[in-house]
């Protein structure tokens, strides 16, 4: 069994999104930068995840770059998963070491299916200016992460240029204070499919909160999303259109429910396997 999960706003939470007082006894540090805590996790969720990671293949799946993922102490020092998917699927780590063959495969696939990064960025820059674009980064030489002032973003212009960019083989995702421009070949589900074939698991539980996680949850046999984020807002706009379970709580404590969901699936799977063994 595989448990594949997005990280930010699904398992770990920034100071803005945690939803509790930062000195709450229910949470603990997951990540620090320059001695300052930047992400938290529920203590209960951390405990359950630590145990489950010894019983199944836990795979962190994140849009973070490799560098950003590696600074999370929780996964560097406490849980230490064998596999990790970073860069929105563009990189796979085995025991912390990048799989260069997978990365080359993704780059080759981009060449065959999508316009160049320069062409896409030039198109986007036609509507971008300093009034609402606060910063940008070409992440791991794969996709663009653009920090924005959401209130000043020209919605109609972004909507129109997004259509043009999608015609060039790229996806556009607006998430909170960021816009992501991502080639269609850079996919969390594609990377997970690659690892599933390597591991040989039939059952996949997946969790995530954003539109970039949608392909991940659609690929899973047992998907769940927290009661916040883009996926939950889509569910509110179009009830019942997504075949996911949703937590009843939001914020950092949603991870507790997600962990219990994973545990329940694991328990049911173990019972099925035990029955098969008994039947010979």
DSSP 104-129: HHHHHHHHHHS--HHHHHHHHHTT--
Q: Assign 275 a pLDDT band (cuts: 50, 70, 90).
A: low
Q: Assign 269 a pLDDT band (cuts: 50, 70, 90).
A: confident
What are the start-end ranges of the E strands in 61-191? 83-86, 91-94, 97-98, 133-139, 143-148, 170-175, 178-183
Q: Which pLDDT score is estimated for 268? A: 82
Read off the pLDDT of residues 182-197 as tens digits, 9 standing for 90 and up. 999 999 999 999 999 9
Q: Which pLDDT score is estimated for 26? A: 98
Q: Which residues does 272 contact at the CB level (< 8 Å), separation at least 6? A: none
Q: Which pLDDT score is estimated for 241? A: 85
Mean pLDDT, residues 97-111: 98
Q: Which pLDDT score is estimated for 176? A: 82
Is residue 150 within 8 A of residue 130, CB to CB? The reply is no
Across the chain, what does the average pLDDT equal? 95
Residue 270, pLDDT > 80, answer: no
Mean pLDDT, residues 157-168: 97
Read off the pLDDT of residues 205-228 as tens digits, 9 standing for 90 and up. 999 999 999 999 999 999 999 999
The CA–CA distances, whole Å, from 172 to 95, 137, 143, 220 equal: 31, 15, 10, 23
Mean pLDDT, residues 105-109: 98
Higher pLDDT, 274 or 14: 14
Counting runs of H as helices and runs of E as strands, what totals does the chain give? Answer: 10, 15
Q: Which pLDDT score is estimated for 68? A: 97
Mean pLDDT, residues 49-58: 97
> What CATH architecture is 115-183?
2-Layer Sandwich (3.30)
Domain 2-99+186-278 has CATH 3.40.50.1000: yes
Output b/e per residue, 179-194; b: 16+ Cβ within 10 A: bbbbbbbbbbbbbbeb
Mean pLDDT check: name the lowest of 89-103, 124-138, 227-241: 227-241
Residue 56, pLDDT > 90, answer: yes
Q: Which pLDDT score is estimated for 272? A: 53
Domain boundaries of the chain, sorted by first residue: 2-99+186-278, 115-183
| Count of C-beta atoms within a 10 Å radius of residue 131 | 10
Would strands 2-5 and 57-60 be described as parallel, antiparallel, or unpaired?
A: parallel
How far separated are the first and last CA of the chain, in Å rounded?
Answer: 21
Q: Which pLDDT score is estimated for 279? A: 58
pTM, 2 dp: 0.94
The CA–CA distances, whole Å, from 47 to 25, 50, 78, 95, 111 equal: 14, 5, 10, 21, 43
Distance CA 97, CA 125 (A): 35
Q: Which pLDDT score is estimated for 117? A: 98
Residue 277, pLDDT > 90, answer: no
Residue 278, pLDDT > 60, answer: no
What are the start-end ranges of the E strands in the chain? 2-5, 13-14, 27-33, 36-42, 57-60, 83-86, 91-94, 97-98, 133-139, 143-148, 170-175, 178-183, 204-207, 222-225, 245-246
Percent of the chain with pLDDT over 70: 96
Q: Assign 175 a pLDDT band (cuts: 50, 70, 90).
A: confident
Distance CA 229, CA 211 (A): 9
Tokens found for residue 8: 């930010």
């Amino acid at each position: 069994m595989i448990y594949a999960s997005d990280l930010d706003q699904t398992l770990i939470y920034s100071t803005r999104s945690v939803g509790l007082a930062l000195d709450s006894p229910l949470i603990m540090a997951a990540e620090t930068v320059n001695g300052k805590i930047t992400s938290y996790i529920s203590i209960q969720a951390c405990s359950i995840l630590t145990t489950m990671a010894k019983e199944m293949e836990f795979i962190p799946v994140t849009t973070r770059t490799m560098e950003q993922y590696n600074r999370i102490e929780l996964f560097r020092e406490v849980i230490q998963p064998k596999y990790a998917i970073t860069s929105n699927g563009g990189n796979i780590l085995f025991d912390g070491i990048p799989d260069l063959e997978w990365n080359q495969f993704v780059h080759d696939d981009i060449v065959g299916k999508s316009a160049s990064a320069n062409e896409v960025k030039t198109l986007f820059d036609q509507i971008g200016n300093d009034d609402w674009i606060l910063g940008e980064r070409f992440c791991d030489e794969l996709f663009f992460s653009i920090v924005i002032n959401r209130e000043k973003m020209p919605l109609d212009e972004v909507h129109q240029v997004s259509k043009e960019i999608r015609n060039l083989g790229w996806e556009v995702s607006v998430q909170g204070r960021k816009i992501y421009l991502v080639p269609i070949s850079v996919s969390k589900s594609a990377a997970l499919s690659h690892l599933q074939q390597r591991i040989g698991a039939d059952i996949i539980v997946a969790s995530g909160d954003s539109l970039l996680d949608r392909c991940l949850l659609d690929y899973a046999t047992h998907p769940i999303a927290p009661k916040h984020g883009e996926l939950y807002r889509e569910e509110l706009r179009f009830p019942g259109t997504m075949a996911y379970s949703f937590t009843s709580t939001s914020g950092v404590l949603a991870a507790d429910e997600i962990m219990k969901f994973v545990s329940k699936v694991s328990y049911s799977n173990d019972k099925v396997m035990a029955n098969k063994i008994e039947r010979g």
